[in-house]
Structure 1
Amino acid sequence: MIQNNEGRYERSCRLFLSAKRRLIAATIQFFDLFSGIGGFREGLRRAGNFVCVGHCEVDTYADKNYRLLFDTEGEWYCSDARTIEPERMPDFDLLCAGFPCQAFSIAGKREGFADARGTLFFEIARILEAKRPSYFILENVPGLLSHDKGRTFCTILSTLSELGYHVEWKVLNSKDFGVPQARKRVYIVGYLDFRCAGKVLPEPETNGAALVQIRAGSQGKRVYSPKGLSCTLTSQAGGMGGKTGLYDVGVPIKENTKLG
C-alpha cells in the first residue's frame, strides 16, 4: 500500500511539472469525456490556448456532429467511457465531463446510482485516479445537489477528495452569461494545487430579463426573442407536464405545473 501511494505521488509530481511547463507555454491540454456535440470544447476554443487531445462519446449521432464541428484528426477516441483503458490515453492537464444527468434530473425518475447512467461518475473517478490531471470541470443538473437528500452529492465530493482533489461547486445560469435562455447547471471544479482555492468560479451579475415571445405556437414551434429569455431549450422532456405545453409566456414552468 505504501509503495502504491509513493508511486502515485511520484506520478502526480511528474504530471504536475509537465502541466506547469505547458501552462508556462500558455497551452492547456484537455480530454473531452461524455463530449456530446462539443459544448465544453467550444467554450475552451473561444477562451483560447486550450488543445484537445481526445474525446469520448457513445451516441453515434452526437459524435458525427462533433467531428463535423471540430477537427479531430489524430486525436485519441473511445466510444464508451466504461471501456477506456487509462494507460492507452494521452496525458492531459484538464478533464472535462458533462456526465449523464438523466439519473438526477427532476424530469426523470431520479434513480441516481441505481440507474446505469448515474454510475458513470465513477468512470470519471477511475480516470482521474489513473491519469492525475491537474484540473477537472464537471457539469450536471442542479438536481444532483438534492438527490437522495444530498447523499449522492456527498458521495461524489468524498470520492473526489479521497483522490486528492480540492473541489469547488456552484450553480450557474446561462442567462447570466449573455445567452438568451434560462438554464441552470451545477459546475464542479477540482484542482490539485491548493493555491487555486477561491479563484475559479465566477460571480456573475443576475440577468433579470423577461420572456419575449415573437412567435406563438405549440411546444417545439414557439419562438422567443434573443432580447428576452427562453425558459428552456425544449419542453418535450419527461416528468409531469412533459410534451403537454403547460406554460404560457411570462409564467414559470413550475407554477403552471402546480396549476395543472
Structure 2
Amino acid sequence: MKHSIAGLFAGIGGLERGLARAGHETTLLCENDPAASAVLQRRFDIAHHDDVRSLKSLPKQTTLVVAGFPCQDLSQAGKTAGIEGARSGLVGEVVRLIEAQRTPYVLLENVPFMLQLSAGRAMDVIASAFEHLGYKWAYRVVDSRAFGLPQRRRRVYFLASLVDDPRTVLFADEAGEQAERGDFRSVACGFYWTEGIRGLGWAVDAIPTIKGGSALGIPSPPAIVLPDGTVGTPDLRDAERLQGFPIDWTKPAETVARRSSRWKLVGNAVSVRAAEWIGKRMAKPGEIGDFPTAPMTPAKSWPTAAWNVGGGRMRVEASEWPVQRTYQSLEGFLIHPLSPLSEKATAGFLSRAERGGLRFPPEFLRTLRNHLAGMRDTGPRSSRAA
C-alpha cells in the first residue's frame, strides 16, 4: 500500500525522505523552525505550513500522519519537563488533528528517555490517547546502527493503526543484539567530550548519538579517537551522512541562520534509513516474530518494546536491531577531515574525567593527554581520517 503522508514537526524531513525512498508520498509538511523550513522548502516541492497549532485539518487523502515531535522536554540533554513541557507537550496537537480525522496510521518518533522520565508518563499519555481513539499500537526502540550507519542512535518508533496490526511492521524483523565490533585502539571510537563525570557516551566503531546541541544551544559534535591516536570531531557533512542524508542537505538553512545552526538540525533529525525500513514494512507487512511477551505491570519505566492490539498492554522482549545491514566502519565511513578537538575542550574533559569515578578503556586518557600535549606544542591542525 502506498501512503499519503502528512508530516508534522517535520524538521529537515528525515521521516519523509525515508518513507519516500520506500515508495510513499508526502502531501503536507509542517515545521515552524525557520532554518529547518528553509531546508524543507528547498528539498521538497510540497505544501508547507509553519505552525501545527494553527493547522485546522489534515489533507483529506492522508492515510499516514508522521511526527518526530519535539524532544527537548523528554531528553536527558534537555530540561526533562516531561510530556507537559511547552515543547514536547505539542504532541497533543497531533492528537487533536487525529481526533478530527481518524487517519488509518500514525507514526511517532522520539528519544528513549521518554520511557524512563516520570516512570514513563509520556508514553502512558500517548498510548492512552490512541487507545481512547480506538487504535491498536506498538512501539520499539531501534538503534540506527542496525541499518549499517556507524552512529549509536536509539529512538522510539511508535506506530498506531485503525485498520491493521502494527506489529506486522515493527515486529516482523529481528536480528538480535549485536556484539561490539572491536575495541579501543583496534577501531575508531566515539565519545562526548562535553561529559566525563556522569557519563562518557562511549561508542565502539561508531559515534554516540548526534545531539541538537548543549543545554545552552551550542553545537557539540561528538569526538572521535582513531586507532593512530588522532582525536577530533567529525565534519558537518559527515554528520549529515551519518543521519542518512546526502552531503549539504541542510545547507539551505544558511540562507536564514548561521552555519552552526545546521548541527542542531542534523542532531534533531530522524534517521532516514530507519524511516525507510519502516516504510518498506508498511508497504509490505511481514509475519510477526515469536517474541516473548508479558502483561505490563507498574514499574519505574516502560520497556524498550511493547504493544496493545486489543488484549491489553504487553511488554515485549525484542532487540534494538530488527535487521543487520552491511555495516560501514566509522574510520572507513568518514570522508572529510576531522577537526582536532581543541585544547580547551580536551583539557576540560580530562579535568572532569580525573575528578569523576568513571572507568575508561585502557590507554584512553593517556591518548587524550598526548593529544593535549600536541595541541599545546603545535596548535590546532586539521587531520584526515584514514
Give the TM-score range, shorter chain. 0.7 to 0.9
Letter in 2 for 1:66: L
**Aligned residue number for residue 67 of structure 2:** 97
Q: Is the 8 A contact 1:91 1:131 kept in 2?
A: no
How high is the sequence identity, in percent, across the aligned residues?
A: 33
Task: Report the alpha carbon displacement of residue 236 of structure 1 after superposing the two structures with TM.
Answer: 4.4
Distance in 2 of aligned mates of 1:243 and 1:258: 23
Instruction: Map residues 135-174 of structure 1 onto 2, 5 A cutoff.
Output: 135-174=105-144
Match of 1:238 in 2: 215
Number of residues paired by the alignment?
216
SS of alignment partner, residue 159 of structure 2: strand
1:81 to 47, 52, 68: 52
Contact 1:104-1:111 at 8 Å conserved across structures: yes
Provide, for residues 86-123 of structure 1, a one-character-per-residue CA deviation record: whole Å limited to 9, x for no partner. 1x634300001000001100112210134211211110
Q: Does residue 45 of structure 2 align to residue 71 of structure 1?
A: yes
Q: Please tell me whether the aligned partners of residues 29 and 92 of structure 1 are also in contact (alpha carbons under 8 angstroms).
A: yes
- 2:140 and 2:190 map into 1 onto residues whose CA distance is 34
Q: Which amino acid aligns with 1:54?
A: L
Please give the alpha-carbon distance, in whole angstroms, between the structure 2 residues aligned to 1:109 and 1:258. Answer: 25
Match of 1:109, SS state, is coil
Conservation of the 8 A alpha-carbon contact between 2:75 and 2:113: yes
Is 1:209 equivalent to 2:184 in the alignment? no
Report the AA paired with residue 31 of structure 2: E
Contact 1:147/1:153 (8 A) holds in 2: no
> TM-score, normalized by length of structure 2?
0.50
Name the SS of the counterpart of 1:199 in structure 2. helix
The residue aligned with 1:198 is 167
Structure 1 counterpart of 2:28, one-letter code: G
Measured at CA, do residues 246 and 157 of structure 1 come closer, stay the same or move farther in structure 2, by a change above 3 Å? same
Residue pair 1:177, 1:204 contacting (<8 A) in 2 also: no
State yes or no: 1:259 paired with 2:355. Answer: no
Distance in 2, matches of 1:80 and 1:235, equals 20
Is the 1:33–1:96 Cα contact (8 Å) retained in structure 2? yes
Indicate how the Cα distance of structure 1 residues 51 and 115 shifts in structure 2: closer, same or farther if over 3 A, else same: same
Greater per-residue helix proportion: 1
The alpha-carbon deviation at position 150 of structure 1 amounts to 1.8
Deviations along 1:222-244, whole A, 9 cap, x unmatched?
A: xxxxx9311122594239xx959
- What corresponds to 1:44 in structure 2? 19
1:228 aligned partner:
205
Letter in 2 for 1:232: T
The alpha-carbon distance between structure 1 residues 93 and 236, as it changes in their structure 2 partners (threshold 3 A), is closer
Tell me the distance in 2 between the aligned counterparts of 1:47 and 1:109.
Answer: 35
Aligned positions of 1:91-130 closer than 5 A: 91-130=61-100
Q: Would the alpha carbon gap of residues 236 and 29 (structure 1) be closer, same or farther in structure 2, given more than 3 Å must change?
A: closer
Q: Confirm or deny: 8 A CA contact 2:7 2:67 kept in the other structure.
A: yes
Q: Tell me the residue number matched to 2:322.
A: none
Amino acid at match of 2:169: V
CA distance in 2, matches of 1:161, 1:235: 32
Task: Check 1:243–1:258 CA distance in 2 against 1; reply closer, same or farther (3 A cut).
Answer: farther
Q: Which residue of 2 aligns with 1:179?
A: 149
**Matching residue of 2:384:** none
Q: Deviations over 1:138-196 (max 9, x none)?
A: 00000111121122221111011101110101100001111110000001000002x42
- Taking a change above 3 Å as real, the CA distance of residues 79 and 204 of structure 1, as seen in their structure-2 partners, is farther
TM-score, normalisation: structure 1 = 0.72
* Whole-Å separation in 1 of the counterparts to 2:175 and 2:358: 32
Structure 2 unaligned residues grouped into runs of 5+: 195-203, 228-348, 360-386
- Alignment equivalent of 2:29, drawn from 51, 55, 61: 55
Partner SS state of residue 71, structure 1: coil
Q: SS at 1:196's partner residue?
A: coil
Quote how far apart the aligned CAs of 1:59 are. Answer: 0.5
- Structure 1, unaligned stretches of length 5 or more? 1-22, 220-226
Matched residue of 2:207: which SS?
A: coil
Paired residue secondary structure (1:55): strand
Distance in 1 (CA, whole Å) between partners of 2:19 and 2:221 is 36
TM-superposed CA distance for 1:51, in Å, is: 1.2
Helix, strand or coil at the partner of 1:66: helix
